[in-house]
């Protein structure tokens, strides 16, 4: 990666040299070809830096506590002009502070994120994982069900977890003050979605589904109606049933391009006993990233019928180009005051096993009612989850950008393949998430598509029936894997359909 800053050209490389390696940052004088002023070799074993490598070349060890990149950036942020003049920069071009801050921010992210090897997945290696995705089904079945990605996690997350192990940092965590996730979440919400929220309104919790359960217990009573848009991520149905609430169902309707909200049906379904709108936004499994007009339609109903909103926005970072995520709480102060937003780094950064999420309360009252469930009943939070979520949100965006570009291509591949080779299946490209909701009803498979593809194609995908009654005849396919594995999955499915 390369970028310009005033009279400078900055180049970041990820080098591997005889068992050593890591990111190298070179600062060149842009006007003088090849004149390298500074070089920082943030290697694992022999980290060092050069002052004036084009000529005088004074080499010194880096002097970091445990983070070479942080040390390097600290030197540059502390005295960029001084270092450059010691290195013999002759240009008198000024560098504005704001431009330097922004360039160094990008440099740091690039140094921390070597390109991820997303194509380089092996099924044997995936089967070594102990998580449920690759262990639940027999070894000859390819797994494309639960929402974990097959990709390795971002380098900054790997480093953070490795560091925890290296220093034996597995004791009781200091939650949440040491890993200030509420502030990080608030910063990210402002930067990505223009949502200004006070970090004091954010609590760290174990997982998003836990937040749904606690929210339902806090904001409704047994027998109350909970509005959910089916087909839906199965724990939504479980949460309503297991807390003794009642499902007020609003089925999304398949349109020509995407699934739509049927507002007439929804208005008729919401009764005086309805208390909560349990929103999945972006929506799993249809992949909808609801637009402002749709959200405003929901907001109007929420105010009219005095509902509380629990908005599960765990997929908010997985929105494809051409679509945007609009947090439900940003629709206005009255809406914010009645909205609990749940989120986590776990889906977008592939760390669901680490169990860490956040809850953002739109009002003190919502927070008080949520926290009335005693702290120990809410459960504790693990240090590795805090460290990994911190590394994800603070340092891992380049990894996510690369993954999103890869997923976008997978989404297209899936569309082309279904059109050409599986014409009996209807597929609406998701606007968000790495999940494809496949309508297999026209195939008229007597055993249902889930059992058919598992038995005949040896492909394990999610059974549409578990997403509620509208999921009958559907399956959900997780396409967050390498192109080679995805192609193999689709080939197996097409062959099984052809051989019927
Ligand atoms: C919409 C939605 N909410 C929540 C979760 C799970 O979140 P957690 O593991 O934090 O409970 C998922 C997982 O796929 C999901 O799709």
pLDDT for 239-298, tens place per residue?
A: 999 999 999 999 999 988 899 999 999 999 999 999 999 999 999 999 999 999 999 999
Ligand 1 atom with the shortest distance to the CA of 433: 16
Residue 175 has pLDDT above 70, yes or no: no
Enter the pTM of the model.
0.95
**For a pocket test of ligand 1, which of 233, 310, 328 has the largest count of ligand atoms closer than 8 A to its C-beta?**
233
Residue 3 has pLDDT above 60, yes or no: yes
Whether 314 is in the pocket of ligand 1, judged by its Cβ within 6 Å, is yes
In sequence order, the 6+-apart residues with CB closer than 8 A to the CB of 305 are 270, 274
**Alpha-carbon torsion angle 343, 348, 352, 355, nearest 10:** -40
Average pLDDT (387-408) is: 97
| pLDDT tens per residue across span 330-353 | 999 999 999 999 999 999 999 999
Residue 456 has pLDDT above 80, yes or no: yes
Q: What is the pLDDT of residue 92?
A: 67
Residue 91 has pLDDT above 80, yes or no: no
More confident residue, 93 or 141: 141
Q: What is the pLDDT of residue 174?
A: 78
| pLDDT tens per residue across span 42-81 | 999 999 999 999 989 999 999 987 899 999 999 999 999 9
Please tell me the distance between residue 284's alpha carbon and the centre of ligand 1 in angstroms: 9
**For a pocket test of ligand 1, which of 206, 207, 208 has the largest count of ligand atoms closer than 8 A to its C-beta?**
208
Percent of the chain with pLDDT over 70: 98
Whether 209 is in the pocket of ligand 1, judged by its Cβ within 6 Å, is yes
Number of CB atoms found within 10 A of residue 363's CB:
16
In sequence order, the 6+-apart residues with CB closer than 8 A to the CB of 231 are 251, 252, 285, 286, 437, 464, 467, 468, 470, 471, 474
Residue 178 has pLDDT above 60, yes or no: no
| pLDDT tens per residue across span 197-238 | 999 999 999 999 999 999 999 999 999 999 999 999 999 999
Query: Rounded to an integer, what distance in angstroms lies between the CA atom of residue 261 and that of residue 417?
Result: 28
Q: What is the pLDDT of residue 93?
A: 67
Task: Tokens for 273, please give them.
Answer: 């006993």
The separation between the first and the last C-alpha atoms of the chain, rounded to the nearest angstrom, is 50
Please tell me the distance between residue 449's alpha carbon and the centre of ligand 1 in angstroms: 24
Q: What is the mean pLDDT of the chain?
A: 95
Ligand 1 atom with the shortest distance to the CA of 147: 14
Task: Tokens for 196, please give them.
Answer: 């200004």
Query: Rounded to an integer, what distance in angstroms lies between the CA atom of residue 394 and that of residue 330?
Result: 23
Q: What backbone phi and psi angles, to 5 degrees, belong to 416?
A: -60, -45
Average pLDDT (119-144) is: 96
Measured in whole angstroms, how far is the alpha carbon of residue 67 from the centre of its chain?
Answer: 25
In sequence order, the 6+-apart residues with CB closer than 8 A to the CB of 13 are 23, 24, 26
Q: What is the pLDDT of residue 457?
A: 98
Number of CB atoms found within 10 A of residue 108's CB:
21
Q: What is the DSSP string of 380-403?
A: ---HHHHHHHHHHHHH-HHHHHHH
**Alpha-carbon torsion angle 273, 279, 285, 288, nearest 10:** 130
| pLDDT tens per residue across span 8-39 | 999 999 998 888 999 999 999 998 878 999 99
Whether 357 is in the pocket of ligand 1, judged by its Cβ within 6 Å, is yes
Task: Tokens for 474, please give them.
Answer: 């559907």
Please tell me the distance between residue 44's alpha carbon and the centre of ligand 1 in angstroms: 36
Given pLDDT bands bounded at 50, 70 and 90, which one contains residue 177?
low
Looking from the CA of 395 toward its CB, the CA atoms found within 13 Å total: 22
Ligand 1 atom with the shortest distance to the CA of 357: 10
Whether 284 is in the pocket of ligand 1, judged by its Cβ within 6 Å, is yes
């Amino acid at each position: 990666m390369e970028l310009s800053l005033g009279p400078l050209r900055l180049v970041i490389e990820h080098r591997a040299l005889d068992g050593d390696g890591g990111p190298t940052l070179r600062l060149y004088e842009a006007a003088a070809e090849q004149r390298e002023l500074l070089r920082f070799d943030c290697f694992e074993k022999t980290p060092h830096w050069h002052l004036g490598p084009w000529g005088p070349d004074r080499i010194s060890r880096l002097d970091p506590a445990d983070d070479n990149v942080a040390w390097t950036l600290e030197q540059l942020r502390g005295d960029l002009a001084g270092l450059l003049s010691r290195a013999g920069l002759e240009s008198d071009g000024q560098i504005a502070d704001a431009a330097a801050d922004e360039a160094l921010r990008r440099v740091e992210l690039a140094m921390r994120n070597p390109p991820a090897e997303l194509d380089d997945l092996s099924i044997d290696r995936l089967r070594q994982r102990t998580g449920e995705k690759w262990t639940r089904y027999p070894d000859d079945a390819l797994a494309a069900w639960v929402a974990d990605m097959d990709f390795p996690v971002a380098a900054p997350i790997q480093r953070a977890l490795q560091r925890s192990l290296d220093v034996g940092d597995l004791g009781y965590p200091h939650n949440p003050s040491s890993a200030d996730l509420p502030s990080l979440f608030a910063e990210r919400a402002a930067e990505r979605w223009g949502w200004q929220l006070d970090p004091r309104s954010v609590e760290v919790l174990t997982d998003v589904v836990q937040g749904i359960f606690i929210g339902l217990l806090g904001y409704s009573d047994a027998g109350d109606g909970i509005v959910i848009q089916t087909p839906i991520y199965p724990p939504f149905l479980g949460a309503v049933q297991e807390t003794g609430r009642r499902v007020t169902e609003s089925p999304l309707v398949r349109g020509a391009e995407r699934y739509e909200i049927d507002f007439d049906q929804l208005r008729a379904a919401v009764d005086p006993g309805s208390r909560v709108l349990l929103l999945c936004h972006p929506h799993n499994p249809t992949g909808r990233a609801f637009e402002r007009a749709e959200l405003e339609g929901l907001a109007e109903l929420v105010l009219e019928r005095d509902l509380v909103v629990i908005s599960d926005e765990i997929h908010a970072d997985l929105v494809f180009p051409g679509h945007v995520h609009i947090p439900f709480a940003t629709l206005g102060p009255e809406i914010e005051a009645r909205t609990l937003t749940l989120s986590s780094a776990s889906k977008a950064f592939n760390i669901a096993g680490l169990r860490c999420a956040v809850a953002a309360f739109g009002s003190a009252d919502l927070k008080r009612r949520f926290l009335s469930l005693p702290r120990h009943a809410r459960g504790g939070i693990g240090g590795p989850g805090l460290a990994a979520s911190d590394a994800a949100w603070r340092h891992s965006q380049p990894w996510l950008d690369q993954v999103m570009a890869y997923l976008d291509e997978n989404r297209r591949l899936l569309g082309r393949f279904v059109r050409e080779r599986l014409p009996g299946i209807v597929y609406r490209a998701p606007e968000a998430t790495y999940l494809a909701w496949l309508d297999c009803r026209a195939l008229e498979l007597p055993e249902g598509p889930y059992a058919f593809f598992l038995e005949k194609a040896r492909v394990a995908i999610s059974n549409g029936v578990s997403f509620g009654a509208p999921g009958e005849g559907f399956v959900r396919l997780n396409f967050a894997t390498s192109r080679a594995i995805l192609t193999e999955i689709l080939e197996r499915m097409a062959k099984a359909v052809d051989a019927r």
